[in-house]
Structure 1
Amino acid sequence: MKMQMLLFLVLFFVFTFSFQGNVAAQDAELDSLENVLKDLQDPWDKFKAITDLSWAYSRKDPYRALFFAEMAKELAILEKDDGLLVNSNYYFGAAHKNLGNYQTALDYFKPYLDYKLEIGEKKRVCFVYYQLGITKLQMGNYLGAIDDLLNNLKLSRELGLKDTEANTLSVLATVQSKLKNFEKAIAYNEEALGIFQSIDDKNGQGQCLANNANYYAILKKYDMADSLYQLGLRLFEETGDQYMLGHTYFNIGELQILKGNYTESEFNILKSIQIRQSLGHQKDLAESHIGLGNLYINQNEGQKALFQYHQARQLVDIVPSLELEKKMTIGLAKTYELLKNFEESTSLYKALNTLSDSILNQEIAQQISELNVRYETEIKENQIQILQKDQVIAKRNQSLFASAALIFLIVSLAVFILYRNRQKNIKRLEEKNGIISKMLEEKEFLIKEIHHRVKNNLQIISSLLQLQSRYIEEPMALAALNEGESRVRSMSIIHHHLYTESNLSQVNVPQYIDNLCSNLLASYNYKNKDINMIKEIDDIALDVSIMIPLGLIINELITNAFKYAFEGRESGEIRISIKEQEGKLLVSVKDNGIGLDLHSTKKGFGNRLIQTFLKKLEAKAETIVNEGTEIKIELDQYKKEVISQASA
């Protein structure tokens, strides 16, 4: 035991001196940059140097970063430059994020994002989306984080920002881990690691390795986790990233607890405490103290554990965190149980239920809390007014008229304030509704334009096929071209309906069938036969994903009837039926012709096309040959919307 302690002390002092050496080197570099700042005269150059310093200190010393951000803000005000003033918000946000003041960080990032979107500065928009994603991740707003990070990923790939793309993939991995999708998280990190290696970013490589080590530890693959932690640690020591060193040493300490190596665990967690104290990140420091307390519980060191949890308590009181509060409460309950203080331990265990509910419903609880604060404030204000009125009546015996006038004044003022606030809210809502309406109009216009262009392109293809057919003399080739042109036209009709109607995703089935039959009748009734087409179509609309394959099937069936059903006859009848019945869509194409030869049709391309689309629609088909041919199709899964008579 003495030998282990001696080894621990030697390693600890070696780390301390090496850590101080790295810090001293970094401090010298930053001091040099600060000295250069004093000699700069141009406001833009000076602002750039100040913000560079703020960014450099944002992880190392967030309070120092805030000092430089404030200096940048003052320079912008002095120069009366609104652009520089908004730019300073980014550095305030970065510093507050690293201090754990996440809502404050969002309040600074939001106007910066709005400004950069307005002036179209995509690179800065990309960067601030990344910061917003990380901040929301820390706040537990995972859906918001994913939204911002995906926006960042899209822009970083568009702009060719490899380092940003890799960092974003790494953070997306962290979000997936919060959602318990560890395999997906590991895959994201491995993709990011490949990019970091391609650009020789050692710090980024270290982050990916450390994060995947965390996930392997959760999956209880401790040896794999330990190996990745050590690889990441060497990279962070090489780059001097104190922020990630603090995290990695803490995670190694946690892993050693799981492996039962308590001496190594204590050594690593103490390293993380020393680094995090120097950085001033209170939330991370509280996490380290809780981890050390957990270690001492495993060693049955109750008093040592209690001291660490009290250290964490002081930090959590400054930077509240429900997650850390829960971990600390569990640790304290176990500590008091270890110290035989069962009353205190039982009380803490009971408090865990309420605390767990608070974590699960944090957003709702926050909204309820805000409403309660407003409600209690109004009650207190009313109570103060009543007490003041009673005191005035008791001391001065104020007249009834004066009291009524005072009450009337207060009520009038309250009504005026309420009215003014209501008008402001109405105006804000109108502005937002106007923006939403404009966006919807633009979206609708773009979708209609797409359908219009698709329809035009299909018509061009149809026309090209028609032109080509004029130069084809071989009957089978000519028939194939005509059939292909018919299929293209059936799809063109669908897109024509989509851009001319108000519904941009669904096709009016009766109108579509009318147009399709008219086109086919004009194309195939070339022998002057009297073909009567009867349509029995329900007033329904089908989604375009259903209508295109179904339309092509109906086109093939009607085409086959025209071509083969009435050979040797001067007249005939084709009946098309589309009905809804008991949650199913029933489609029927029937003719009173000579009847279909089932063996000869199975080999044709048209039949293979029909079978392909039936499979896509998961539909059933039946062929009945009796005084003509009838093909029945039954669809179980289809999107539908009943058309009102007015629109029909």
Structure 2
Amino acid sequence: MGRYLKRIFSALFFVFLLNVSAQSIGNEEESALKEFQDTNGPSNRFDVFFNSIDRYNVNSAYDWLDTIKIYLSNSQKTNDTIATRLYKVMQTQVYNDLGEYDKSIALAKELYAAKDSLDSSSKKIVLDVLDDNYSNLKLYDKQIEIRKEKRELGLTENVAFYDIYSNLGLYRKARNQYIMEVKPTIADNDSYGLAKYHSKVGNYLRLDNSAPTALSELKKAKAYLDVFLNDISKPKTEEQLFESDLLKAEIEGNIGKCHVLLNEYEDAIPLLQNSIEVLTTSSKNFHKSEVIENTLNLADANLQLERFSAAKKSLNIDFENINTLQNIKRNSLLAAYYDKVENFKNAATYYKRNEKIKDSLTQTQSSIIKQQLVTIVANEDLENSQRLIDEQKQINELARSEMKAKDERINLVFISLIFTLLGFAGLVYAYLKSIKNQRLIAEQKHIIENALVEKDSLLKEIHHRVKNNLQMVSSLLSLQTKNTRSKAAIEALEEGKSRVKAMALIHQKLYQNDDLSVIEMQGYIESLINSVQSVYKKGGHNISITIDAEGTELDIDRAIPFGLILNELVSNSFKYAFPENDENGKIYIHLRKNGEQGYFEYTDNGVGLPEDTEERTHSSMGIRLMNRLVNQLQSKLNIDKASEGVRFWFNFN
């Protein structure tokens, strides 16, 4: 039994030695503090401290502080003033990293009081630390003084205000100034610079509650960063890769926060988790604040998805250097959490904490921030001072108590209700007025329609009377025929009677039509031929007549000349074309009108015209009449003689 125990203890001791050895090797490879301690000379240690990519990867800032204090004490004992200054500069940075801003400021001021003894690198570090300290303490007027000092020393070309505007909540102003100052300085092929630029613009848009637009800018930033990382033609240092990872984590964190604003919680969670994991490795205070923001948003997303344990785990983290607004948000989320799990007593506790913080914030910070705004504006642009102060007033108003905000919402609802009622009354008035106008229009339309019906009735009555009058003329000609013995006179009277009937038929067709402006010519021609056949009872009944005028319509000014021309042609065919036998007689009538152009053709296969037709043209009543009628149509009558029959044709408009 003892032998087995001895073997077990030996194995455990061997495993322990391996773990200690591996940990020791890992620490030697990764610990920046050990490299710092192994380096000889304060100047070299200064370079290791400020050039280390992640000096707090293994050892905390407190470990660094203890080590630097030992070296500082030794240099003071040996009266090594150069080494003392260098270690104090490092100590100033560590206090800043720890969030002990007052200590950092005091030490930095002490160093800068003897700035003539500092080299340019140390001066820049001290001023940068002071800048960051004043920013974290919200002493923006002091921060501006430091930036002006850096410009006077040639450490920076101009004084930028956009980050100060952002800290004051003037995100649109910050974005506009950032775009104006930074965009022109970035080359088109600088992928990393463009990634930082779009990341910054996207974050300002997110802070300004423009999440959809911010998401577009942040995705552009991520795309440019991917181009930079995938460009193998440009070698990258370890520091560049580390900074790229931090920038990527910033971008992903801001994209995650946009998804939270858009209620897309499932999309937000993995991005926020990855961002928190990477940014935790950074020593920058800005990244520490981002870790807090991302953690609070992660808690919010899990809370909305009712993953209460995950949300509570995030909210239970004891953050260092959490600012007032973040504390307010954390309390709100804790109150919401306890509301959801029905622990209303704890929820009320956190609501009350927020009320106290908000009241204190409003009372203590309003006058200070207003004074700092005036200082900022005086340095940048005096004419915008009142507008900036007004904008800050709006920001301060947002920090009032929830009860007052609720009262304002009630007032807003009441005012909205009044405007809604006024709008509804306006709509009712407009509707009633519209009904009245529609009634007037309907009455006017009815009057116009009645007038048109009456006009159509009158026109039909006129055409009916004209037709009756022409029939009376035809009857008088018939009576005259019976009282006349001269064969030539009878024929002349019959021809006149036929012409009168052709005109009467036009007026009959018009008053029978619904449309009084045009006459359908196919039906008219058929009726006209029947009328001519009734006059010439002895001939024309065996003749085959083809009429091709389907769909053609003419107005009365053209229809009457056409009727008279056709009357003459058909009458002549019946009388003269088939003197012996009309059984094989054929007549073809063609009439077409396309738009403004028209065409008329009349043919028969009779005996044709006599040889002296041209001489008889001037003496023949029928041909002279047709020529005049064709002239009325602004055309010319064409006559073609064939071996059998004759062809009359003309074009018209």
Measured against the shorter chain, the TM-score band is: 0.3 to 0.5
Structure number with the higher helix fraction is 1
Q: Normalised by the size of structure 1, how large is the TM-score?
A: 0.43
What is the TM-score when the length of structure 2 is the normalising length? 0.43
- Larger Cα-atom Rg: 2
